[in-house]
Amino acid sequence: MAVKLGVPSKGRLMDKTFDWFASRGITLTRTGSEREYAGAVSGIADVDLVLLSAGEIPRELAAGRIHLGVTGSDLVREKVPAWDGAVMELEPLGFGHADLVLAVPSCWVDVDTVSDLDAAAAGFRATHGFRLRIATKYHRLIREFLRREGVADYQLVDSQGATEGTVKNLTAEAIADITSTGETLRANHLKVLSDGLVHRSEATLFKARRATWTNEDRATLASLAARLETAAE
């Protein structure tokens, strides 16, 4: 058996992950066509490369079908209930930075904080007869954040497309989405609440707590961790 390492199968996240490991003397290589999702590892023994979408990796880690995985910290927190009981953060990788934020229309001059949003949501429901809609792909993270902040008069609407456009299209009054620079938000006449940072995401190496770890696997992990200069536990 070998330690299974899940890595994003395409795009900048894959390229940056490959570069990060290569800078530490471990070469990850994609083999075959882009549709085969096959790969190889050299520079260390008994590690198998598993290429998956970034969104699949949290689920595979939580199920214990892979031992290690690289994906966004936002995806793990969103897709895995009680995530820290299922996976362990081993190392932030220093790339893939993005902020999950709450944003409202720029013209809402009296709404600058989450508390202001709470008051606006109560007024919105009294006026319109239904709850203020927040478009997002991150239902678990946003629901937990708003519960901690005491916001109740809202409803989450699912957005699998361009979330920033939902306000303009009148399918939501506010949004919660990932942003790196804020330019797309500003282009859509949206502003981030001053205390509306929900999570600061980064590509991270995770360990699966529920995977089967043999003594040989643990020895491989210790060797890998030494090469990567990170903790094994």
The pLDDT tens digits for 57-102 are: 999 999 999 999 999 999 999 999 999 999 999 999 999 999 999 9
Tell me the C-alpha distance between 213 and 221, whole Å: 9
Mark whether 133 and 193 lie in a shared domain. yes
Mark whether 120 and 71 lie in a shared domain. no
Q: How many CB atoms lie within 10 A of CB 199?
A: 20
Q: What is the pTM of this model?
A: 0.90
Mark whether 86 and 34 lie in a shared domain. yes
195 CB contacts (<8 Å, ≥6 apart)?
113, 114
In this prediction, residue 35 carries a pLDDT of 59
162 CB contacts (<8 Å, ≥6 apart)?
none
Mark whether 78 and 15 lie in a shared domain. yes
In the predicted model, residues of the chain with pLDDT beneath 70 are 32-37, 232
Mark whether 75 and 149 lie in a shared domain. no
Q: How many domains does the chain have?
A: 2
Mark whether 109 and 14 lie in a shared domain. no
Q: Are 156 and 149 in contact (CB under 8 A)?
A: no
In this prediction, residue 63 carries a pLDDT of 97
> Residue 133 domain-assigned?
yes
> Residue 70 domain-assigned?
yes
Mark whether 209 and 114 lie in a shared domain. no
Range of the domain at 153: 98-201
Q: Are 47 and 5 in contact (CB under 8 A)?
A: yes
Mark whether 144 and 173 lie in a shared domain. yes
In this prediction, residue 37 carries a pLDDT of 66
Mark whether 141 and 56 lie in a shared domain. no
> Residue 233 domain-assigned?
no
In this prediction, residue 30 carries a pLDDT of 87
Domain of 18: which CATH number?
A: 3.40.190.10
Mark whether 105 and 189 lie in a shared domain. yes
Instruction: Show the beta-strand stretches assigned E in 44-171.
Output: 47-52, 68-72, 87-92, 98-105, 132-136, 154-158
Mark whether 122 and 186 lie in a shared domain. yes
